Structure 1
Amino acid sequence: MSKHLDTRFTLLASAAVLLAAAVAPASAEVVVRGKEGKPLDEIRRAPGSIYPDLRTIVAQPSPSEIKPEFLGPVVLMKSAHIDLEKGTATLPLRKGKLKNGTPVWFIITDTTDENLSNLHGVNYAPKMAYGLTGVASRHATIEKDGSFTFATGSVDFKPVLGVTPGPANAPFPPAKFQPGSVGDATYTPMVYIDNSAKGVLMNAPVVSQATEAELNTMCDGNVDHSKVHDKVLAICPRDETVTLSLTLGFTFDKPIQYLSTEANNPLVAALENATFAPALADLPFALEDASPGESAERIVVVVNGPTGLDNPHRQGLVSALTDGRGPLNILGGIPTINLDYSPMWRLFPAVWTDEAIKKGYRYRMTSALQAAEMSTRGLIKSLDGGDFRAVGFVVNCPVVYRIN
């Protein structure tokens, strides 16, 4: 073979490798994005899980793959395999136990150490470090085999989740409600690791306390919610995975998907399909977002927004109770957008006033700044008719995926 022919074969082989790399979806192991946009079009049809609420999203490739602050999707929780069509995230399933030997199966979504967050593919939440207040966090040690032993905290998954809306003209508040899982007085997802060389808090929501044999019958998705968290769609200790449903929301006008795992109020827990964890009431909630000691960020929950599945401004609890879709909550800062992210969110109920409704001012808000603007105009109040403010409810909502 001549030298020129050999060089040509080398160039062809290199081109083939480059072409294969260009054609193969580099992040297919991380996220299933669904159909892409048309060539030269940066807009595509939204995937099935969010289509009733959003009709279009950013297509691929997106500038955010170069810099996450640019426009486009960002996988925030790198350990998650995201299926946008189904609206699910599959995460590593962690093994643990209580001191009495009761099995504990959990996920890790956030840590207060940036290096460990990068190592485990989870969110960095520095503000969560202020969560060492009262019983808002609990302790754990990591054993030689990598399993966790928790000092306290147990969850009862036997209750049956139920929310019965109020009458047709006033579906909120619900006539009846029951969270589908309830933590004891010491259960919290915030876990301090005692045998770490550096102080670290992990957000480690418990998804089951059943036996390994029981859970291995649920690998294909036929889950028993009397034994697992209500957001679980499949769980498999054999494969070390758990699949959970995601919730659509907004932050600074960008749609995001997040998990919702615990709340410190039984009504909020029932509405969020989350575990009622009363211990989270010990988290500070009345400080400003960036204050020393503040461990939570703000989430705006609209109560009486516009309704109707075909209404592009549909939003809120009344809509969720009547239309069957999520409330489209508005979250504060998340990674890639702001510095004050925490998976613990202080709930700001937003009630549109009669004046706002009469004048047709209601619309779908997608930023906490918009809610603040409407509040200063007197168009939004709190549940009791007072000023728009945090009211003491805390919900654990780790962010997973930034859609745009």
Structure 2
Amino acid sequence: MAKLVSLVVLLFAASLNFAKADDDVQPAPPSIGADVPLTYFGPPPSSVQKELIGPHQLLRSGTVDLDAGTVTLPLYEGYYEDGSKHYYILTDTTDRGNGEALGLNVAPKLSYAHGRAVDDVYLDGFKIRNRTGKVDFRPARSVVPGDEPNPFPPKRARPGAIGDKNYTPLIRLVNTDRSLYNAPIVADGVNFLNDYCNGISGRQAKKAYKYIHDTVIAICPEEQTVTLNLASGFSFARPVFYISTDANDMTVAALEASTFAPGLDAVVVGGDDSAFSAVERIFVTINGPSNAQLPRSSNFDHPQRQGIESALRGEGGPLNVLGGIPTIATDYSPLWDMNLGEWTKKAIKLGIRTRVLEEFQILGLVLDGFITGPNGDEYGSVGIIINCPIVQRLL
């Protein structure tokens, strides 16, 4: 399906500041309904075997703050082709040994990204050099939802970080073992970033975000750390946190508070788990349950709320559904191929519409005709790649 800007609105958790990343996904304590207090319960099964139920941090290189909905990661220094400096993070790699040693996500599928999607760099000591794709953080991000009763699509969506035609978050170390790394650029190499070691206040924001990624809430080159907002969603009915760093569409990048990365256009979509596919699917709902369906006198949120329209109304993040992630499946990739769905009028009339939590639930609803592509079109990829490294599984 052709890439249609009017159909590309998603993943608002951090971008419009609707809610913290833990919105609607934090599991309830097991003591609810029991005759004993929480202290009587033992450690979660995931502490014994990571694949079992319970919290498990997947991107182990950083520190997750569950209450704040943030992750603090190592900050790396790199250099563009012209010698100017930038800062980046590492989240995923095809090098299993180094990934496990550094606490990165191991994503073998990234090896099938090629062409403009990968920037060949060389390692000089501990720094990468010769990165060709640059990011301009100077634009002011702007998002204006559409008028009710149809907030989707937005009236305006302009990203706050725009990569040039060569920019991609993926790099290949050509003078070592040619491993691929997911290395999104998060800041310019300006010398006053240490002013934001303790966070970015309201007055500082206007200046700061001319030089840093819009999901960054604190950055400290002298300590080599950066803190980013998390987004929330589900993978096979388990709540998860992830970060959204790049997208190959201007509208998506604006809504995600991420970087427009034209180089990701070279990633082939629609292959899902087939041989030589670099992507995994993310399932985005347009018109899920919303507070708009509740009586006006209600003083609570819809317990099943989900979707773009809900997010545009300021009710919280859209709570998208990710495909396979480590410890649940073997097909993880941080490059998510967006499948955009819409509940049909029939499904809504029958009261079938609810919060969806996992891939095969959604595909079954598509098969039965209750979810289609936008405007009744065929369901599937809309041609958009979003770089969303997984950070933590909450259950």
Question: Normalization by structure 1: what TM-score?
Answer: 0.85
Residue of 291, 294, 313 corresponding to 2:277:
294
Judged with a 3 Å threshold, the aligned counterparts in structure 2 of structure 1 residues 283 and 51 are, in CA distance, closer, same or farther, namely: closer
Instruction: Name the counterpart of 1:152.
Output: 132
Instruction: Name the counterpart of 1:118.
Output: 100
Judged with a 3 Å threshold, the aligned counterparts in structure 2 of structure 1 residues 135 and 386 are, in CA distance, closer, same or farther, namely: same
Letter in 2 for 1:50: D
Percent identity over the alignment is 41
Instruction: Name the counterpart of 1:17.
Output: none
Helix, strand or coil for the counterpart of 1:391? Answer: strand
> Partners of 1:162 and 1:53 in 2: how far apart?
27
Q: Which runs of 4+ in 1 moved over 2 A?
A: 51-55, 57-60
Displacement, 1:210?
3.4
Larger Rg: 1
Residue of 161, 183, 189 corresponding to 1:204:
183
Residue of 88, 91, 97 corresponding to 2:73:
91
Instruction: Name the counterpart of 1:400.
Output: 391
Structure showing greater relative contact order (alpha-carbon pairs closer than 8 Å, 6 or more residues apart): 2
Letter in 1 for 2:149: N
Residue of 56, 59, 70 corresponding to 1:74:
56
Q: Where do 1:4-403 residues align within 5 Å?
A: 49-54=21-26, 56=28, 61-132=43-114, 134-144=115-125, 146-196=126-176, 198-211=177-190, 213-222=191-200, 223=205, 224-287=208-271, 289-308=272-291, 310-403=301-394
Deviations 1:78-104 (A, max 9, x none): 111000000000000000111212111
Helix, strand or coil for the counterpart of 1:393? Answer: strand
Instruction: Name the counterpart of 1:34.
Output: none
Helix, strand or coil for the counterpart of 1:142? Answer: strand
> Partners of 1:378 and 1:56 in 2: how far apart?
33
Judged with a 3 Å threshold, the aligned counterparts in structure 2 of structure 1 residues 243 and 57 are, in CA distance, closer, same or farther, namely: farther
Judged with a 3 Å threshold, the aligned counterparts in structure 2 of structure 1 residues 118 and 54 are, in CA distance, closer, same or farther, namely: closer
Conservation of the 8 A alpha-carbon contact between 1:232 and 1:244:
yes
> Partners of 1:150 and 1:242 in 2: how far apart?
23
Deviations 1:370-392 (A, max 9, x none): 11011001111112421210110
Residues 381-390 or 312-321, more deviating = 381-390
Question: Normalization by structure 2: what TM-score?
Answer: 0.86
Displacement, 1:53?
4.8
Judged with a 3 Å threshold, the aligned counterparts in structure 2 of structure 1 residues 286 and 275 are, in CA distance, closer, same or farther, namely: same
Conservation of the 8 A alpha-carbon contact between 1:81 and 1:90:
yes
Task: Mark the runs of 5 or more structure 1 residues left unpaired by the alignment.
Answer: 1-47
> Partners of 2:389 and 2:92 in 1: how far apart?
7
Conservation of the 8 A alpha-carbon contact between 2:285 and 2:306:
yes
Letter in 2 for 1:178: R
Conservation of the 8 A alpha-carbon contact between 1:164 and 1:176:
yes
Conservation of the 8 A alpha-carbon contact between 2:144 and 2:154:
yes
> Partners of 2:199 and 2:382 in 1: how far apart?
37
> Partners of 1:292 and 1:189 in 2: how far apart?
23
Conservation of the 8 A alpha-carbon contact between 1:299 and 1:332:
yes
Instruction: Name the counterpart of 1:26.
Output: none
Deviations 1:134-185 (A, max 9, x none): 20111111112x1111330000111111111111100000011101111111
Displacement, 1:286?
1.7
Helix, strand or coil for the counterpart of 1:235? Answer: strand
Displacement, 1:49?
4.8
Judged with a 3 Å threshold, the aligned counterparts in structure 2 of structure 1 residues 51 and 330 are, in CA distance, closer, same or farther, namely: closer
Deviations 1:111-154 (A, max 9, x none): 0111011121100001111012x20111111112x111133000
> Partners of 1:353 and 1:281 in 2: how far apart?
30
Conservation of the 8 A alpha-carbon contact between 2:79 and 2:131:
no
Deviations 1:5-37 (A, max 9, x none): xxxxxxxxxxxxxxxxxxxxxxxxxxxxxxxxx
Task: Mark the runs of 5 or more structure 2 residues left unpaired by the alignment.
Answer: 1-19, 31-37, 292-299
Displacement, 1:311?
0.7
Conservation of the 8 A alpha-carbon contact between 1:53 and 1:312:
no
